[in-house]
Amino acid sequence: GPNETVVVKHFPNSFRESRLLEELKKAGIERLAVCGAMSHMCIDATTRAAADLGFDCVVAHDACATTNVEFDGREVPAAEVHAAFMSALGFAYAKVVPTTDAPLLSIFRTITNTVAVAWPSPSTDWTLQQNTNSVRSVTEWIGTSRSS
């Protein structure tokens, strides 16, 4: 909407060289819900940074997307990449929950790494390719939480 604060980012860590921390502190926000793309880049970097900065974080795992990656000559499927990063974030940095966990999600204010929830590209093997309903539910939840 016209009164929303938009923070432009240029790095996977949304806090790096941006106004995000300043804007969150100015708004008195202490808890963040994170979703978007890509699980192994922006979601991971931003969630870890937010936790290190003292924010309570929740990641809506079924509203995050990633793609196949390659390491040491081996292709790693997107679903395995996503699971590995969600597991690591859940170990020490965030509560990792599905979008259906409304009671937990409702206590958190929301940021997304791409200003709007990232939609999967039809030409890429995203983990959310078949799960756009979760992205829609988070989009609706964001709209509801912003108005409350």
Residues serving a catalytic function are: 42
Report how far apart, in Å, the C-alpha atoms of 34 and of each of 30, 44, 57, 128 are: 13, 10, 7, 15
Diameter of the chain by CA atoms?
A: 49
Specify the pairing of strand 74-76 against strand 109-112.
unpaired
Residue listed under structure tokens 């000559």: 73
